[in-house]
A = this chain, B = another copy of it.
Amino acid sequence: VNLLVNGEVSASIAALDRGLQYGDGLFETIAIRRGRPRLLSLHLDRLASGCRRLGIQPPDAASLTAEIAAVSPAPEAVVKVIVTRGGGGRGYRPPRDASPTRIVAGFDDPGFPPEHRVQGVRVRSCETRVAQSPALAGLKHLGRLEQVLARAEWCDESIAEGLMRDEEDRFACGTQSNLFAVLGGELLTPRVDRCGVAGVMRRVVLQWAAGRAIVTREVGLSDGDLHAAEEVFLTSALIGAWPVAELDGRGLRRGRLSTEFMQWLDRD
């Protein structure tokens, strides 16, 4: 792993950093494709808007862009950016003079099986529920413990992702992806104003659909919705889009929308 902390090569951060102490920060996970960060401006945009929502000074975009390039280990790779509120003493109150901590880490490409994009993936529904938190909903904040617990629910390597329900028993998201379904010709995806993350690729899909006059709606999705759907797929900055072939052992119908989206995303 290649690591930069505030622009300097370092494998460590202060133990009193508020990112560790309180989860007081945000992150972005960026796909490097053909040597370039994919959807970089959308990542920078979400990071800056999240920082503003938390009252953290957003990082300088030019410096961050250079650091992302510097840590990327290969033309196909992953770069994770963390911005925390910085150091500080004990207590939740954000210090006035806090200076944010910026961590940029380059990882090898996760090497997802290419057939995931073509044949689709097997997914399961998780017991671990996702929190209803209007204050944090949409933010890609550092508190990911629910996702950790959900991901710990299964060891079967052939299960690519787990879906998490909200308290009303509607599917809200994957542990590391956003969820879409095509139902009655409409493109549906759960809202992100009470739980979940406003994924960068989710945004791209919604914009792409709007440009094609596909009706989109933000709604919770029940188990019945997913089994009735013409198509179900998952999105994230890293995976792009994966059709869901099977949920909890039952096959789902397969449509064309996610394939068309992936072809558009891969265009040059």
Closest to A175 in B: B92
- Give the B-binding residues of A (Cβ under 8 A): 1, 3, 5, 10-24, 27, 29, 54-55, 78, 80, 82, 84-85, 89-94, 103, 105, 107, 110, 128-136, 141-152, 167, 175-176
Do A20 and B20 contact each other (CB < 8 Å), given the known contacts A107-B89, A143-B143, A167-B132?
yes
Residues on B with beta carbons closer than 8 Å to the beta carbon of A54: 145, 149
Count the copies: 2
Tell whether, in the assembled complex, residue A145 and residue B143 are in contact, meaning their CB atoms are under 8 Å apart: yes
Q: Which residues of B have CB within 8 Å of A85?
A: 148
A184 to chain B, nearest CB (A): 30
| 5 pairs of A and B residues whose beta carbons are closest in the complex | A143-B143, A131-B133, A22-B144, A92-B151, A12-B12
CB of A117 to closest CB in B, whole Å: 19
Please name all residues of chain B whose beta carbon is closer than 8 Å to the beta carbon of A12 when the two chains form the complex: 12-15
Asked if B21 and A142 make an inter-chain contact with CB atoms under 8 angstroms apart, the answer reads yes
Output the nearest chain B residue to A84 by Cβ-Cβ distance: B20
Known contacts A133-B129, A134-B129; is-contact A147 B15 (Cβ 8 Å): no
In the complex, the chain B residue whose C-beta lies closest to that of A132 is B132
Candidates B1, B15, B24, B107; contact of A148 at CB < 8 Å:
B24
How far does the alpha carbon of A145 sit from the alpha carbon of B12 in the complex, in Å?
22
The residue that A10 contacts in the complex, of B10, B15, B78, B141, with Cβ under 8 A, is: B15
Least CB distance, A55 to chain B, in whole angstroms: 6
A152–B55 touching, CB < 8 Å: yes
Q: How far is the CA of A78 from the CA of B131 in the complex (A)?
A: 31
Within the complex, which residue of B17, B78, B129, B145 is in contact with A20, where a contact is CB–CB below 8 Å? B17
Of all chain B residues, the one with the shortest Cβ separation from A141 is: B145
Decide if A94 touches B5 in the complex (CB within 8 Å): no
Q: Is the CB of B24 within 8 A of A93?
A: no
**Considering the chains assembled together, what is the distance between the CA atoms of A148 and B149 in angstroms?**
23
- Specify the chain B residue showing the minimal Cβ separation from A17: B20
